[in-house]
A and B are shown apart, each in its own frame.
Chain A
């Protein structure tokens, strides 16, 4: 058996793949957080709960209505996006003129309430989500087996991330978003309905979390805590990448997933802490994050 640094290539590739999968979710979630923070100046602690609700939406659609994975990919983000719009209009929009802390408290409280409601209804044990038929089986890459669904998750999340990046950094719509992130007053005085843009941006960010949730459903157990467990790491990813940087969020998401995977191979004891160690180092050297700007 071939080895690299005394590690069987198969184990190395396997952990790299797990790292890439985790990284795909880190990237999609931190992307949504970065977009929301950029325009709303709100640290959306409800993001994990919204991701969890996306997974639950997929599970409910399948088990109660018999609606499958592909439709869930569309329905769950749209429904949760609408839910986000409702939250923004009724609650968040009252907080923009106040200190950051209020937005953090509100979204954190909301996350606890939502998790509590789901736990009350469905218990804390996870619900399995049946893998769609099309994804049964694996590709034989020679040195390892690559399950079809995992390959799909990595490719799909890359497409989602790059499309979002392109829209924000390279289109007219994105230029409104970037400009309003810098100076909403001037953008609104040009005739752009900035409050509506803010509402839709929050809805989009929440929809992105829900989409990640649907994609996660067949891999992880669908449980009320699934978001809470993940979101802590995602916040570390956002801090490392730099608040408000779109490309930074994507690169750091995938990069840290892979680093975490490699740590599992080379020094398993540190695999749960490596991201936080990196966060501490980055904060000491570059307080604004790797790709962030001081603001």
Chain B
């Protein structure tokens, strides 16, 4: 029943609709008309080589690219002209590639830093269930954690806020396989709980274990969309796209 409701909603209007998105850093034109949709409750990845524009796409949705044009509609509201704090308040949360853990804050302060923007955020106790390591290190400075723990902190802190769409930028980058698996299980649990996730990944083997659909980016455009079921059949194509 709930699934049917979600399905019906997702066919009528996507949670996030990106149309003709262009973005610039100074003089360099990075995105050249990006189009894609994310439905409520989906886990969608952006795949592509380095420099294809995946991170810039996330940053544009978050409103932190200095110059952007086109249309980004989130839950029916146009956000392309909004400042990043207003975009966050509307229910989107971002976990940056460099993780953005604060050295002058301890783990607890880092975890509690993002303001609550809506209802339905995870209670801190459940975040500790997902990432037990964090509970043991609450009073360490944020950047004294290991890379994996910092990644858990960077994801954990945005689960509290009630944001409904999570933008995760390469959460598995540079982490040990066992931690990559833990993050994979976390993403699956978050999907069960109804979070919508847009994930940037280099590692499509990991992406295949968590995502519903994959968009492939090249030179600042979306060049293909592959449903996860079709991933096996599209391996040849994907190898060409990603050059792996």
Contacts and interface: CB of A to CB of B under 8 A. Distances in A.
Contact of B88 (A172, A181, A191): A191
B102 interface: yes
A186 B64 CA distance: 9
Contacts of B73: none
A193 B63 CA distance: 13
Contacts of B105: 175, 178-179
A194 interface: yes
A183 B102 contact: yes
Interface in A99-134: none
B113 A182 contact: no
A190 B162 CA distance: 11
Contacts of A189: 62-64, 84-85, 87-88, 94, 96
B100 interface: yes
Given A175-B105, A178-B105, A191 B115 contact: yes
B96 A188 contact: no
B103 interface: yes
B85 A182 contact: no
B223 interface: no
Interface in A199-221: none
Given A175-B113, A176-B113, A190 B161 contact: yes
A273 interface: no
Interface string B74-114: 00000000011111110001101000101111000100111
A93 interface: no
B117 interface: yes
Contacts of A182: 102-104
Tell me which of A179, A182, A185, A190 has the highest count of chain B C-beta atoms within 10 A of its own C-beta: A190
The size class of the interface chain B forms with chain A is 20 to 34
B66 to A, nearest CB: 9
Contacts of B87: 189
B109 A192 contact: no
Contacts of A181: 104
Nearest to B99: A186
Given A189-B63, A191-B88, A179 B113 contact: yes
Contact of B104 (A178, A185, A188, A193): A178
A193 B103 CA distance: 21
A190 B102 contact: no
B100 A191 contact: no
A172 B87 CA distance: 22
Contacts of A190: 85, 88, 93, 113-115, 158, 161
Nearest to B91: A191
Interface string A233-250: 000000000000000000
Contacts of B161: 190-191
Contact of A179 (B83, B93, B102): B102
Nearest to A182: B102
Contacts of B62: 189
Interface string B153-176: 000001001000000000000000
Contacts of A193: 85
B173 to A, nearest CB: 17
Contacts of B63: 189
Given A172-B112, A189-B64, A179 B85 contact: no
Interface in A31-50: none
Tell me which of A183, A191, A194 has the highest count of chain B C-beta atoms within 10 A of its own C-beta: A191
Interface string A25-67: 0000000000000000000000000000000000000000000
Contacts of B109: 175
Contact of B102 (A172, A178, A185, A194): A178
Contacts of B115: 190-192
Contact of B100 (A172, A176, A186): A186
A129 to B, nearest CB: 40
A176 B110 CA distance: 10
Interface in A159-203: 172, 175-176, 178-179, 181-183, 185-195
A188 B96 CA distance: 13
Nearest to A197: B85
A182 B113 CA distance: 13
Given A179-B104, A195-B83, 19 more contacts: A183-B100, A185-B84, A186-B94, A186-B96, A186-B100, A188-B83, A189-B63, A189-B64, A189-B84, A189-B87, A189-B88, A190-B85, A190-B93, A190-B114, A190-B115, A190-B158, A190-B161, A191-B115, A192-B85
Interface of B: 62-64, 83-89, 93-94, 96, 100, 102-105, 109, 112-115, 117, 158, 161
14 contacts: A172-B112, A175-B105, A178-B105, A179-B104, A181-B104, A183-B100, A185-B64, A187-B113, A188-B64, A190-B113, A190-B158, A191-B86, A191-B117, A194-B85
Please name the 6 residue pairs, one residue from A and one from B, whose CB atoms are nearest each other, closest first: A191-B88, A186-B100, A190-B114, A178-B104, A175-B109, A191-B89
